[in-house]
Amino acid sequence: MKDIYFDHAATTPIVEEVIEVMQPFYNEIYANPASSHLPGQKAASALEDARELVTKLIGAKKAEELVFTAGGTEADNLALKGAALARSSEGKHIITSSIEHHAVLKSCKYLEKHLGFEITYLDVDQDGIIDVEELKRNIREDTILVSIMYANNEIGTIQPIKELAAVAHQNDIIFHTDAVQTVGQLKIDVNDLGVDLLSISAHKFNGPKGIGALFVSQGVELVPQMSGGSQERKRRAGTANLAAAVGMGKAAEIALEKLAEKRNKLVLLRDYFISELFANFDDIKINGPKGDYRLPGNINISFKNLDSESILFNLSLNNIAASTGSACASGSLSVSHVLKAIALEEEYIKGAIRFSLGFGNTKEEIDYVVNKLKNIIDRLKSLK
């Protein structure tokens, strides 16, 4: 069996058509999009075409509402720091959740430590879901920004973003969502959701790495986090990564075209994988919600009293790539902040593994992995 890749939440393979459209932007159309000469104009027009395609994927009305960044992390930083600073004269309180990606959590920590903001971290229930009433209860006079991720990268929980955003707006508060895991898996319509800011990253939907975007709803003010030129309508200084942006545009076009097909395929594979796991293992637990509240491609499973690092190592020896679900858990003492937040029992926390599925995965691969897992788990148990 060839290499089997079940780590699409970490990154996805870049598709051939995307590489093809990027190629000319390295050796033929290399001018700076900010230059006024003809080659520059060509470059600028390619950048705007790409922006248009990404705009469509998230249902935004105007391409101007999209700011290209160097990925999801930068989009989150720009959203949090940019919006917080723009509104700091009205208040310095921000609400987020305890299960955000580190790009959001550490931006909050930065605002807290260096700029005097106060942050409230909302708790989640045992499936990782945020209670809309809990958001209401935590809003204060000086709350200026709420940031809640659309879907969690570790346990796949999908939040009631539309309801949460509505509560924020009733209180004149800016609402940001990190939708990096959601784009390309679920249909997104920023206007229907009613969000002000939304982060996306190309490499999570079969585009290139190092490019992303922040949707900034018309009229929402941001203090730029890069000082320099007036690119991206003065919201993000620096010469755009043109080839990557063009690749992101193509990836967005393909993702939109295949959205329903991909979702249906991933849901079937996910549910098949989960049922096979339960058919073959005792002492396991699925972390995160069931059915519609879970990302189509996410499986997070705990093997009771076993160690995830040993399981992953053994999977890796069999050319199977999976993950613990959090980048910082490996080899360190820190336990996943997400698994802690859902109050997972001690005996299940250490043995948690994430399998995240992508378009290329097949049922045969799942059968193969479950079969290998059986040997691995048996052996690890016998060693105890």
Judged by CB, which is closer to ligand PLP: 74, or 196?
A: 74
Cα-based distances in Å from 121 to 35, 57, 286, 341, 342: 45, 30, 24, 11, 13
Please, what is the Cα angle at 185 between 165 and 3, to 5 degrees? Answer: 140
Which window, 174-182, 229-237, 238-246, 282-290, contacts ligand PLP (CB under 6 A)? 174-182
Among 53, 149, 161, 197, binds ligand PLP (CB under 6 A): 149
The yes or no reply on residue 184 touching ligand PLP (CB under 6 A) is no
Report CA dihedral (160, 163, 169, 174) to the nearest 10 degrees: 0
The yes or no reply on residue 12 touching ligand PLP (CB under 6 A) is no
Residues from 202 through 231 that contact ligand PLP (CB under 6 A):
203-204, 212
Residue-by-residue DSSP string for 131-147: PHHHHHHH--TTEEEEE
Nearest residue to 224 (alpha-carbon basis) of 10, 32, 216: 216
Binding-site size for ligand PLP (CB under 6 A) equals 15
Which window, 155-163, 197-205, 313-321, 355-363, contacts ligand PLP (CB under 6 A)? 197-205
Judged by CB, which is closer to ligand PLP: 93, or 204?
A: 204
- Using CB under 6 A as the criterion, what x/- string covers residues 17-56 for binding ligand PLP? ----------------------------------------
**38-57 vs 242-257: helix crossing angle, rounded to 10:** 30
Euclidean distance between CA atoms 322 and 381, whole angstroms: 20
Query: Could you tell me if 216 and 67 are in contact, meaning their C-beta atoms sit under 8 angstroms apart?
Result: yes
The yes or no reply on residue 73 touching ligand PLP (CB under 6 A) is yes
Q: Are strands 93-97 and 118-122 parallel, antiparallel or unpaired?
A: parallel
Name the residues annotated as catalytic: 328
The yes or no reply on residue 101 touching ligand PLP (CB under 6 A) is yes
Judged by CB, which is closer to ligand PLP: 165, or 377?
A: 165
Cβ 306 to ligand PLP shortest distance, Å: 26
Count the Cβ atoms, other than its own, within 10 Å of residue 362.
Answer: 11
The yes or no reply on residue 103 touching ligand PLP (CB under 6 A) is yes
Binding footprint of ligand PLP on the chain (CB under 6 A) = 71-73, 76, 101, 103, 149, 153, 178, 180-181, 201, 203-204, 212
